[in-house]
Amino acid sequence: MNISELLNLGSKRLKQNKIETHQLDSELVLSSLLKKQRENLLINLNKKVSKNTIDNFEKLIIRRANREPLAYILKKKEFWSKDFFVDRNTLIPRPETELLCESVIRIFKNKNIHILDIGTGTGCIILSILSEIKEGKGIGVDVSREAIKVAKKNSNKLGLNKRVKFINKSFEDIYGYKFDLIVSNPPYIKTSDIKNLSDDIKKFEPKIALDGGKEGLDVIKKVIYKSNTILKKLGMLALEIGYGQYYKVSKILKEQNFKEVLLVKDYKNNVRCILAKFKD
């Protein structure tokens, strides 16, 4: 069998299982197995593939046909133009979260800052920020021991392990530190809405990283309350929030003596990130 035939086989199977990106996913799976750029496959369509490659390809295509996210199958996801290692112990980094990084980097570029990343997961937020803010240092915390292993793997891969520490603990147990910047993409989906998520999310991504409680605000509230005690006087809190949560989160921030500095909208024009400071 050649590359063209194998790609068509994978694409057909995925299409039968209503995977919209069937052609692209088939190409990405094979390029990962062959350790070749996707473009390289497309100019070598007549090249033969080994029996071992065919067998492995078919196993991965079955996983994708069962709605497992491609990022978990390939063990990687691009974020901030870098490949981050991911597995099922962490959320898959989303393009919307890059908006949070972009805003923070623009504000703190060339500054010597100390960052806390709450619910760090893959570490993609703090590592992307530190890759651009060369004077910065930081701590990423997560209640999942396995997520911390993933974040450490990514910091080693990106050569940032001397400037960031990843710690397996709850952010509520942090004392004795003050930060210039606190960033967080906390769980913000209402418990009752989780059943409505697409299969690739609800069946595969860690529920602890999705479930924000009855109103989706449980962890967001705790992050804001805790920030009140561990953020420096002139520091900044940068939060990613869910669809339709802006007014409620804004109210909590005001009650906790914060003022909004910047609102960042996503690609669908929803307020996705809030950057806030203490009121003067």
Domains and their CATH numbers in the chain: 3-66 (1.10.8), 79-278 (3.40.50.150)
Check pLDDT > 80 for residue 52.
Answer: yes
- The confidence score (pLDDT) of residue 54 equals 96
Check pLDDT > 80 for residue 59.
Answer: yes
The predicted model gives 25-31 an average pLDDT of 96
Check pLDDT > 90 for residue 171.
Answer: yes
Check pLDDT > 90 for residue 71.
Answer: yes
- The confidence score (pLDDT) of residue 85 equals 97
- The confidence score (pLDDT) of residue 103 equals 96
3-state secondary structure the chain: CEHHHHHHHHHHHHHHCCCCCHHHHHHHHHHHHHCCCHHHHHCCCCCECCHHHHHHHHHHHHHHHCCCCHHHHHCEEEECCEEEECCCCCCCCCHHHHHHHHHHHHHHCCCCCEEEEECCCCCHHHHHHHHHCCCCEEEEEECCHHHHHHHHHHHHHCCCCCCEEEEECCHHHCCCCCEEEEEECCCCECHHHHHHCCHHHHCCCCHHHCECCCCCCHHHHHHHHHHHHHEEEEEEEEEECCCCCHHHHHHHHHHCCEEEEEEEECCCCCEEEEEEEECC
**Has this prediction a pTM greater than 0.85?**
yes
- The confidence score (pLDDT) of residue 212 equals 86
- The confidence score (pLDDT) of residue 61 equals 97
Three-state DSSP at 278 gives strand
Check pLDDT > 80 for residue 280.
Answer: no
The predicted model gives 15-29 an average pLDDT of 96
User: What rounded mean pLDDT belongs to the chain?
Assistant: 94
Q: What is the pLDDT of residues 88-134, one digit of tens each?
A: 999 999 999 999 999 999 999 989 999 999 999 999 999 999 999 99
* Band of residue 215 on the pLDDT scale cut at 50, 70, 90: confident
In the numeric block, the tokens 């009140």 are attached to 228
The predicted model gives 43-48 an average pLDDT of 92
- The confidence score (pLDDT) of residue 193 equals 86
* Band of residue 253 on the pLDDT scale cut at 50, 70, 90: very high
Least confident span in 75-89, 196-210, 242-256: 196-210
Percentage of residues in the chain having pLDDT higher than 70: 100
Check pLDDT > 90 for residue 177.
Answer: no
- The confidence score (pLDDT) of residue 149 equals 98
CA atoms within 13 A on the CB side of 69: 22
Check pLDDT > 90 for residue 229.
Answer: yes
